[in-house]
Structure 1
Amino acid sequence: MTVLLSKAAAATGAGMGRVVRTAVRWAAASVLTVLPALVLMAAPAARAQGTLSDRLKPGGTKPSDKPAERLLVEAAELVYDNDRNTVSAVGNAELHYGPRTLLADKVLYDRNTGRVFAEGNVRLTDETGAVVTGDRMELTDDFRSGFIDSLRVQQTVEQRGRVARVRFSAPRAERIEGETTTFENGTYTACEPCKTDPERPPLWQVKSARIIHNNSQRRIYYEDSTLEIAGVPVAYLPYFYTPDPTVRRETGFLAPHFVSSNALGYGIGTPFFWNIAPDYDLTVEPTFLSRQGVLGQAEWRQRLANGFYNIRLSGIFQTTPSAFLPGPLGPGNRDFRGSVESSGHFYLSERWRAGWDVVGVTDKWFLDNYRIRNQTISTDYFREAISTAFLIGQGDRSWFEARAYYFKGLSTYDWQKQQPIVAPVVDYDKRINGPAPLGGEVRFQMNFQNLTREATQYQEIPRTRSYLVSSSANGFTFPLYPTCTVFERGQCLVRGLAGLDTRLSAQVSWRRTFTDEFGQVWQPFAYLRTDVFYVDPNTRSYQNREITNLFSPDVDFTGRVMPAVGLEYRYPFVADFGALGVHTVSPVAQVIARPSETHIGRLPNEDAQSLVFDDTNLFQWDKFSGYDRVEGGVRANLGAEYAITTRTGFHVNAMVGESFALAGVNSFRRGDIANVGRDSGLETQRSDFVSRLQVSPNQNISFITRARFDQKTFALDRFEAGVFAKLSPFVPLDTSVIYARYAARPELGQSFRREGVQASATYSITPNWFVSGSLLLDLSRYLEVRDLYSNGAEAYLLNPVGLPPDRGTRDKLYVAGTNLGFGYRDECTTVSLNYISSPRETASGLRERNQTFLLRLELRTLGEANFRQNLSTTTTADGIATVR
């Protein structure tokens, strides 16, 4: 670093005598570390241990009790005024004092008072990263206290994985010890200023007579405040406080929520959050309901060294139970209703973890009636709450999982005795390298299941009739599908068997892949599967008396063994056509030899009732979805794959195939007690044809279709097609369309063709404004309605208000569900309004349409509010009495 006196100062120095100007220059690659004491008073910085004011006062370097941080100065000029005892840094002045940085056009230090005066484009950055700007600042020598004119503060924080910048501004503010900043007539917002018109009011801001930001308490206090939207006052708050934007958890009231319901009346919930300690907290929420009283809710959350857990309690003593249907169709005979919910997740070691997710309710309607959301509730149709506890271990090439399940049916006509209790179900999977000279891979799989059920669950086939059941006393009418109460072979499916069902399954397999000199790929494989069942059907139940012929009462233990050997062959042909891409054609053949499956239809089937034959399982060794069934017999699977990949990202993948039952008993031809295998496309010697076609012009657009064709007539039996497109930046549109059509499965209780379309899209009108929507069309509902009318004039399918529909309900285009939304979002605000219309299907077959408006407003860092309004005025499916 070179220090030079300016020529003017050198020539007139004797005459001037009072002002010394020093021009400071330094090498471009060096870092400026000029101490005013070093330059102007010849006090070595390395030995200066006093505060900044100590070092710059005349007489110099009296040390304080603790070492002070060094001051680093960078400026075009340093000016020392002996008469006024001041030091000035002029021209792009930059001062660093510990973690704080001060930038200004000019900075003057008064050694008499120890005050720092900064003027012109002043910018102060503190240790938290907050940036304070103003026209003029008067600070202490450590930049921690002082007054600021035309103050503007910008602070960057992270909330919910997103970065936000909050801003304070005021004509004048006072900063005290770097801990508290008081803004007189201040404003606060998290919105970015308008780029074209910075003076325009932000989308929202809080204006207050005083804003006090306390860094030690990490709170912001607002006095005499007004909330403005686009410069228009919309709410007045005399006093409130919010946590500092950097705080994620703070004791206080959360945003209230509002309730409007025929059964509950009008109400408001006021949650209070208590941040008891860094590792646990409590949320208490009373909801005051005009028709039912006070609903109390409390949630305890705690994070431990190796995991977390939470417990939520809800309960109410109802003042008007008659608003709900009487039992057994509703909770109208209950005064107290409530629920207990809990979840936990703990890491026992690097490889093991355990936890639970459970829910208990006084009645099946409580969670829905009082709009208590729970992640264990599976769907909006046949609703059930799934409680589970688990233990999971994972190794480099192994997996262990043990779980227990309890299923709580939440539909009106669910019979809890038909719901199983599974405790436990255990899975183990281990892979190792094959021993010499076999090589390849050896895999061991084990599954253990223990299941109990009080009453057998039947389903009638075909399910084609609907009967009216009514009660004038209660004023409700609904259709009820019949179910089997006495088992009849060929007329009833057994979906779940009462009694005890215990099974242990184990399988060891081996496979190895060889590629010969011609490029042919050979994969021999073999496996041995064993199953042991202990079945004790509850023959005391009247429902099981008619099916004891399926089981031998003298034999509780039953076993089966399934050995298999097989070979899979592939021969990929690859051709590179340059700009037209790389084309690959791969014929595939697979042969599996094994004995016939035993005990078909004489064993329970709990986990293998879902069987969909398509391209995904054509080459599976066993096409059943679970362990209760095992595929037997000699079978050949044939197919071919074709793929195109270009340098531009264009991709095509196609496949077609068929399966052949060559010898032994075809496992899919003889249905079990749930008729699994029948109507699957595999029950004949030659299976149906399966195919797949996927076309992706680029990474943003994809089209995929799957189909199954009858092997004799080539009639379309099963078809699925979907288009997924993200067209931005060319068109600000994200969309998807899915179409599905499935033929009737009379032997599985599906008497009608099922067909539907689901479409969804989000269109960005501008970078901030958007519209969204989704539509679900049921294209086969008219088949069911037509059958109901043709099978008796007194068979009606009721609409949600309980009146017989007109013949228009037989239209092929039936809107099953819609979701329309409109909103605005930016860096500080999210506003959305959604209309949701969806059916709710209960076990009785009644479709009830829910129509809801949902308004959501989020002011980033300040809070959010949601308002939900149901338009439905009557319901029976959720246990609420009809409103007249």
Structure 2
Amino acid sequence: MRLFATFILMLFPQMALSQSAATLIADSVRVTENEELIASGNVEVLYLGTRMTAAQITYDRANDQLSISGPIIIQADDGTVLTAQSGQLDPTLENGVLQGARIVLDQQLQLAANQIDRRDGRYSQLYKTVATSCQVCADQPPLWSIRAQRVVHDDIEQQLYFENATLRIRDVPVLWLPKMRLPDPNLERATGFLIPEQRNTSQLGTGIKIPYFVTLGNHRDVTLTPYVSAETRTLELIYRQAFQNGDLRIEGAYSDDTLEDANRSYVFAAGEFDLSDDYKLTFDIEAVSDTAYLLDYGYSDKDRLDSEISLTKATDTTLTQTRLTYYQTLRDDESNASLPPIIADANHEARYYPKIGGTVTMGISIDSAYRYSNVDGDAGRDVSRIGAFADWDDSWVVNGGVLLNAGAGMRTDLYHVLDDSSFPISDTRVVPSVHAGIRWPLAAYSSNGASHLIEPTISLSWSESYGATVPNEDSTRSELDHGNLFDVSRFSGDDAVEVGYQGAAGISYTRLGKSGLSSVLAFGRVIHDEPQTDFSKSSGLDGLRSDWLVAGQLTTDDGFLFDARALFDDNADITVTDSRIGWQNDRISLAAAYIWQAKDATEDRTDTVSEWTLDAGFIVNDAWSIDLDGRYNVADDRPVRAGIGVGWQNECVNINVSASRRYTSSTTVEPTTTYGLSGSLTGFSAGRSTAGLAAGCRN
């Protein structure tokens, strides 16, 4: 008969002092005349989250010691498992000796030793130790192992200290170190080396990156990565800090290479902070020493850098924002002086709900664009604007489910222009507008459970610009799409507005299937009473009649997505088309996109754009994975970028191999081919967990 006994105070005095209790379960429990407690048969001891099982436990009250016969299994509350053949421990299980023992950390790393000494409930000293996270089979050595004369495991610091250690691959010695420190797998952050990466590029040659991570307290850390090859000496840096009200990240690099005569560097810094009164401060700083540095080293493929600081406050009815932005171009055909490089803007908007109904939105804004150059015209023009607006909008549902809406607005802008004689220095513009629309949603339901919705929509509007003809700084890349089809003005900024009478008509069809299949198809067009000369030809909005807009989307509940949009004129000639397709499940991730744009001198596009991109990932099995990416310029019949990455892992090793090729037509950046190799021994890296297929043992 299985007995249950709880011993508090009487049997384990040290536990009594800590006001804790040990629970003992065994098939047989007896007390001898020498005050020895002997528990045998399926023994279990529970104490402060630690569970121990054994064949027999003898407690000597006089010496306050436990003698344990195995097999012994001790499971701690942090997931650590310790097994042994026999042992001598104190009642708190914090001090003693275990013979023929094995420790398993986080179900990954196992350390087998002839003997383990426990000290102060914190240190475990292992003698003649073998450490590995690989499956151990009786007939063959593990894929890798570390043999050490002594290993000390610090439970508090979660560190492993090796003495006289040898790394073995299939039991063949490959590296000896007199001392070595590694984190145990339960540790989330620890100072030390991260996974090295071997890197080979056609410009920088064969090199190696060895990142070193340094913790600077609980809220800061820095990663220093020396990158050394025959062509470069580079130090990369990543600094992170978490504050009570935000966070900061700085990354950069400094290089001395053979590609340029001068030293090269870059820095990207970003931060976000919550201030008082619900304000949010964000900043983003980007700077580089030369136009080719980011691409040469693969840090970024940006061709324009933007550094910005902003202060924002958003509530249910108001928005306040102030921004200062600095641009740095990396393009061959641009100069910083003429971008313009400095943009400053501030705006405040508020929404009100008057008793007459509808919604009133009012706002004030100010912005300024500054160029370094003092030449007359576009390349040197400096523009400042201050403006205010007020809009009213309301909607009603009438008989038959018809939705009506109407609105009116007024905006006023004062412009100050320097270094451009084609515009007056100061001028004022006033733009009134009115609009009305009608939408009639028609719904139906199929016998198979699908729902259908058809929405024909018509809108009419009028606006006019009185006063200044102002320079267009912020609305040079506007385009017709499904989101702005029924807007009063489809310019993306404030400098340009659509004028005259206009009407927009469109119809959309939406189907929601019972199985999760959903689809949307929409058509539309805009008609003006006078030509819109401020729009570019490729925007689809120039002239009296806009291009036809066709847009559609198809999604399924198993991860498939197709989205497309096209603009074409009355002759069925396409102006713009873009589409993307994607599919994802547990093992496959596919994404492809295509864009076609006609050439347009107004937008500085002298050639037709026709390009597709591809990103794909495949989990072949529990061990192998493949990633692919590519970008191809169909118009020029040349590749832009191609890459492949192959990963292999099992329960104790992770290896990644990659190859990429970047093509370029730039005169300052050379095409580059890059090869990368990195690997790690699973079980030591902080915060990593095994996901690979465990190698089986042969019978």
TM-score band by shorter chain is 0.7 to 0.9
Structure 2 residue aligned with 1:724, among 570, 582, 593? 582
Structure 2 residue aligned with 1:225, among 157, 165, 168? 165
Report the residue type matching 2:411 in the other structure: R
Q: Distance in 2 between matches of 1:399 and 1:739?
A: 36
Q: Distance in 1 between matches of 2:495 and 2:659?
A: 44
Give the RMSD, CA atoms, in angstroms. Answer: 3.4
Q: Which residue of 2 aligns with 1:615?
A: 482
Tell me if 1:692 matches 2:643: no
Q: Distance in 2 between matches of 1:756 and 1:135?
A: 67
Q: Which residue of 2 aligns with 1:872?
A: none
Structure 2 counterparts to residues 299-698 of structure 1, below 5 A: 301-309=240-248, 315=254, 323-324=258-259, 331-332=260-261, 334=262, 337-339=264-266, 342-349=269-276, 351-366=278-293, 371=297, 373=299, 379-380=301-302, 383-411=303-331, 414-432=334-352, 434-438=353-357, 440-455=358-373, 494=378, 497-537=379-419, 548=421, 550-552=422-424, 556-579=425-448, 581-596=450-465, 599=468, 602-661=469-528, 663=529, 665-666=530-531, 669-671=532-534, 676-698=535-557
Q: Secondary structure at the match of 2:476?
A: coil
Alpha-carbon distance change, 224 to 456 in structure 1, aligned in 2, over 3 angstroms:
farther
Q: Which residue of 2 aligns with 1:854?
A: 676
Alpha-carbon distance change, 222 to 372 in structure 1, aligned in 2, over 3 angstroms:
farther
Q: Distance in 1 between matches of 2:683 and 2:332?
A: 42
Q: Which residue of 2 aligns with 1:473?
A: none
Offset, 1:199: 7.9
Q: Which residue of 1 aligns with 2:693?
A: none
Contact 1:670–1:678 (CA under 8 A) maintained in structure 2 = no
Offset, 1:121: 4.6
Offset, 1:213: 0.8
Report the residue type matching 1:819 in the other structure: G
Cα deviation digits, residues 237-268 of structure 1 (max 9, x gap)? 33210234344443445555667678767766
Cα deviation digits, residues 220-251 of structure 1 (max 9, x gap)? 11223333456665544332102343444434
Structure 1 residue aligned with 2:659, among 828, 835, 842? 835
Identity over aligned pairs, percent:
21
Cα deviation digits, residues 428-450 of structure 1 (max 9, x gap)? 34334x11122x33323443222
Offset, 1:642: 0.8
Offset, 1:639: 0.7
Report the residue type matching 2:582 in the other structure: F
Report the residue type matching 1:824 in the other structure: W
Q: Distance in 1 between matches of 2:399 and 2:354?
A: 25
Report the residue type matching 1:352 in the other structure: Y
Cα deviation digits, residues 1-56 of structure 1 (max 9, x gap)? xxxxx8xxxxxxxxxxxxxxxx636xxxxxxxx334xxxxxxxx4xx4x771579x
Q: Distance in 1 between matches of 2:611 and 2:254?
A: 40
Q: Which residue of 2 aligns with 1:475?
A: none
Q: Which residue of 1 aligns with 2:185?
A: 245
Alpha-carbon distance change, 261 to 578 in structure 1, aligned in 2, over 3 angstroms:
closer
Report the residue type matching 1:638 in the other structure: A
Contact 1:139–1:147 (CA under 8 A) maintained in structure 2 = yes
Report the residue type matching 1:655 in the other structure: A
Offset, 1:519: 1.1
Q: Distance in 2 between matches of 1:299 and 1:690?
A: 46
Alpha-carbon distance change, 767 to 129 in structure 1, aligned in 2, over 3 angstroms:
closer
Alpha-carbon distance change, 514 to 132 in structure 1, aligned in 2, over 3 angstroms:
farther
Which stretch has the larger CA shift, 282-291 or 589-598? Answer: 282-291
The number of residues matched between the two structures is 686
Structure 2 residue aligned with 1:173, among 116, 132, 147? 116
Report the residue type matching 2:428 in the other structure: G
Contact 1:454–1:499 (CA under 8 A) maintained in structure 2 = no
Give the structure-2-normalised TM-score. 0.87
Which stretch has the larger CA shift, 741-750 or 718-727? Answer: 741-750
Tell me if 1:137 matches 2:87: yes
Give the structure-1-normalised TM-score. 0.70
Report the residue type matching 1:447 in the other structure: S
Q: Which residue of 2 aligns with 1:819?
A: 643
Q: Secondary structure at the match of 2:337?
A: helix
Report the residue type matching 1:97 in the other structure: Y
Unaligned runs of 5+ in 2: 687-699
Alpha-carbon distance change, 629 to 212 in structure 1, aligned in 2, over 3 angstroms:
same
Q: Distance in 1 between matches of 2:140 and 2:470?
A: 75
Q: Secondary structure at the match of 2:400?
A: coil
Q: Distance in 2 between matches of 1:716 and 1:269?
A: 48
Which stretch has the larger CA shift, 620-629 or 67-76? Answer: 67-76
Q: Distance in 2 between matches of 1:396 and 1:150?
A: 67
Q: Which residue of 2 aligns with 1:24?
A: 3
Which stretch has the larger CA shift, 692-701 or 250-259? Answer: 250-259
Tell me if 1:151 matches 2:101: yes
Offset, 1:366: 4.9
Alpha-carbon distance change, 226 to 626 in structure 1, aligned in 2, over 3 angstroms:
farther
Alpha-carbon distance change, 246 to 507 in structure 1, aligned in 2, over 3 angstroms:
farther
Q: Which residue of 1 aligns with 2:691?
A: none
Report the residue type matching 1:102 in the other structure: M
Q: Secondary structure at the match of 1:840?
A: coil
Alpha-carbon distance change, 311 to 576 in structure 1, aligned in 2, over 3 angstroms:
closer
Report the residue type matching 2:626 in the other structure: V
Report the residue type matching 2:63 in the other structure: T
Offset, 1:339: 4.9
Unaligned runs of 5+ in 1: 1-5, 7-22, 26-33, 37-44, 56-62, 157-163, 325-330, 458-485, 488-493, 540-547, 782-811, 865-884
Contact 1:505–1:627 (CA under 8 A) maintained in structure 2 = no
